[in-house]
Chains A and B, each alone.
Chain A
């Protein structure tokens, strides 16, 4: 078994428990009119991080490391990472993406979200710059 299959029987049994459950979940919505869109988004979800987001931020990071070699890069990297995370997660509000439906149901708008994200970004880099002045230049 191990020689032909490549792992213990438990490995196979675990897959034969989980995969039918996954198939069941997928079959429950397969006849809905929006099923294809759900499946397309699932398929995109499988690749969007590994083939888009990660290469994108790795390339940025490599460029940063060439510009500022050594651990000093972290004084740029860390605030950029936190600012980027906030942008990634709150993109709908920051870029006014959900505003028509948000305004319709809540009566509110996304005014000011982009400005506040810019200010948060400025504060993050200011704190990082302050830390660099205090202790970064010696390392």
Chain B
């Protein structure tokens, strides 16, 4: 016997539910989450996890998806990661609407009429769990709320694999239903259509307008931290919306010197940059770096959390430092920070990144010395690189 309440088909009364609405919401959602998933895996590749010090997910337990991340276009990571975060936010209302549109199925009775249906319900469970998990952890991470107390990168990465696998399966399994829903539109018969519908208070078109308005609101509330400039302040709820001040160093800090454990003693007159190549080592004071040929480039720092800040950097080309250290055109560079603890204080740049004419060991920003929070005495800035790989408080560089 069917249990009472939501297990009875008559419980569900919205006149809007039906296969056509679900198919349409699902199609929009598919386009959005495809952008989010592709840019997410691109971000994983952009960290170049195959090079020393870069991997956060154990390389022995990773998919073989990495490739040489190019340095040719300085806004590459700003665009891919800006899309990841902002399109992710846009997708949330569509995900909620999609889940709403199929909620009667959760209470289908009997729970499974055949082995096929049991298997399908298991895979739907994985899809719902992984999609909600990905959005919840992503949204918490961009706002630094680590209440989950697990490694975000590892969980979000394997969560993404579960999500993509169960989503692909869902599309294959549902394709005949989707095709029929589009062909028959309102005439399609389905258990999603209410048996005794209530009077409508909104049309299906109205529902789409409301969901789209929700997406637009989330986008506008955040996107200013990605595009920057005058738009930054206009995004009223973006975590990185603050315009800090008019000074040359008044822009967003990913990690303060204090949080990184950098003291004035480490960066004072005692500071020397160590350059290594082959067996040779060269030690340079900051004054000696300033005496080398200086180059200026306008480059963004693009954070994995989706915010970007573009500044004018001045310093020594990494290629010139490689030559000074006795290396030719470098095939890569292993950069160590003075930072003693914390992740990613050792980072390896690939060949195109180390050789790029705008790839700098920056000493100044917007004409002034770097502030302690922005990496004084010297920091890396490379076109198209994930923000956190632009190592601050550089202690040594080893050229390959």
CB–CB B129/A42 < 8 A: yes
**A to B contact number (C-beta, < 8 Å):** 201
Number of interface residues of A (CB under 8 A): 65
CB–CB A46/B213 < 8 A: no
Binary interface encoding of chain B residues 363-381 relative to chain A, with 1 for a CB under 8 A from any of its CBs, else 0:
0000000000100000000
List CB contacts (< 8 Å) of A53-78 with chain B.
Answer: 53-54, 65, 70-71, 73-74, 77-78
B304 at the interface (CB under 8 A from A): no
CB–CB A6/B114 < 8 A: yes
Q: CA separation between A77 and B221, bound complex, in Å? A: 20
The size bracket of the interface on B is 35 or more
Binary interface encoding of chain B residues 99-126 relative to chain A, with 1 for a CB under 8 A from any of its CBs, else 0:
1100100100000011111011011011
CB–CB A15/B119 < 8 A: yes
CB–CB B237/A101 < 8 A: no
Which residue of B128, B199, B210 is within 8 Å of A50 (Cβ)? B128
A69 to chain B, nearest CB (A): 8
Please report whether the interface of chain A is mostly helix, strand, loop or mixed according to DSSP: helix
B357 at the interface (CB under 8 A from A): no
CB–CB A6/B113 < 8 A: yes
CB–CB B158/A15 < 8 A: no
Centre residue among B106, B139, B169, B237 by max chain A CB count within 10 A: B237
Which residue of A5, A18, A41, A107 is within 8 Å of B256 (Cβ)? A107
Contact flag A37-B169 (CB < 8 Å), given A21-B161, A92-B144: no
CB–CB A18/B123 < 8 A: yes
Q: CA separation between A10 and B175, bound complex, in Å? A: 12
List CB contacts (< 8 Å) of A1-43 with chain B.
Answer: 4-7, 10-12, 14-15, 17-19, 21-22, 24-26, 28-29, 32, 34-35, 37-38, 41-43
9 contacts between A and B (CB under 8 A): A15-B120, A19-B122, A22-B162, A41-B155, A46-B129, A71-B201, A78-B213, A101-B146, A105-B253
List residues of A whose CB falls within 8 A of some B CB: 4-7, 10-12, 14-15, 17-19, 21-22, 24-26, 28-29, 32, 34-35, 37-38, 41-43, 45-46, 48-50, 53-54, 65, 70-71, 73-74, 77-78, 81-82, 85-86, 89-90, 92-94, 97-99, 101-102, 104-108, 113, 116-117, 119-120
